């Protein structure tokens, strides 16, 4: 595996995930983490639309009492889900093939992220026996898709000039403060 910055933070991220699970008495595992990744990628895309990062005519959509504006925070949320998936699936990160391709088109990256997150969920549901399987190596598809998501998220962080390790640590501090207030 090449030097994947975010997976270096996986244990710290997973501890944070476990704090949420305990604090809010959640039933949470691999499937929920994969579902959450898809939600967080949607939030990331919406924050990028709200910040006019694409030349598309999409209108800002904001939920009541919530305006998705902070791209760095949404990237961190995506990486938190990625780290949780890594732990719940017990992924051997040394066996991941995270390619070194370069893409400079943010819109292309987020469209791919959306598609890949749907494929990851599909593979997860098949691996867990929730959906019928196909005549294919679903574990390999899951790991390949997972690797591509990490790669695209890291490329997007670079294009957004985001030091993901520093932002992630700052997000952890904000989250611990939130959890201590609740």
Encode pLDDT of 106-159 as tens digits.
Answer: 999 999 999 999 999 999 999 999 999 889 999 999 999 999 999 999 999 999
Q: How far apart are the C-alpha atoms of 136 and 21, rounded to whole Å? A: 33
pLDDT digits (tens, 9 = 90+) for 64-91: 667 788 999 999 999 999 999 999 999 8
**Is the pLDDT reported for residue 1 higher than 70?**
no
CA–CA separation, 147 and 93 (whole Å): 9
Q: What pTM, to 2 d.p., does this model score?
A: 0.89
> pLDDT value at position 147?
92
For the stretch 96-112, pLDDT in tens is 877 777 888 999 999 99
What are the residues whose beta carbons fall under 8 Å from the beta carbon of 53, sequence distance 6 or more?
A: 71, 106
Q: What is the pLDDT of residue 61?
A: 66
Rounded Cα gap, residues 139 and 168, in angstroms: 28
Question: DSSP H helical segments within 51-105, as ranges?
Answer: 71-88
Per the CB < 8 A criterion, the answer to whether 146 and 120 are in contact is: yes
Helix (H) / strand (E) element for 131: namely none
Closest CA to 1 of 91, 69, 99: 99
pLDDT band at 2 (very low <50, low <70, confident <90, very high): very low
Q: Which of 97, 142, 140, 137 is nearest to 117 (CA)?
A: 142
What residues are paired with 63 via a beta bridge?
Answer: 66
The residue among 49 and 4 whose pLDDT is bigger is 49
CA distances 179 to 20, 65, 167, Å, are: 8, 20, 18
């Amino acid at each position: 595996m090449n030097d994947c910055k975010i997976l270096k933070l996986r244990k710290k991220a997973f501890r944070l995930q476990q704090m949420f699970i305990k604090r809010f008495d959640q039933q949470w595992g691999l499937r929920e983490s994969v579902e959450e990744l898809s939600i967080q990628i949607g939030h990331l895309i919406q924050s990028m639309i709200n910040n006019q990062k694409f030349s598309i005519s999409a209108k800002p959509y904001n939920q009541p009492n919530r305006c998705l504006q902070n791209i760095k925070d949404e990237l961190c949320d995506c990486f938190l889900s990625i780290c949780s998936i890594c732990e719940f699936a017990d992924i051997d990160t040394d066996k991941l093939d995270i390619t070194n391709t370069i893409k400079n088109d943010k819109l292309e990256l987020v469209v791919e992220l959306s598609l890949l997150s749907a494929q990851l969920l599909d593979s997860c549901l098949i691996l867990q026996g929730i959906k019928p399987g196909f005549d294919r190596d679903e574990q390999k598809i899951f790991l390949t898709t997972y690797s591509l998501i990490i790669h695209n998220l890291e490329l997007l962080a670079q294009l957004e000039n985001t030091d993901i390790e520093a932002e992630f640590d700052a997000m952890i501090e904000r989250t611990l403060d939130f959890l201590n207030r609740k």
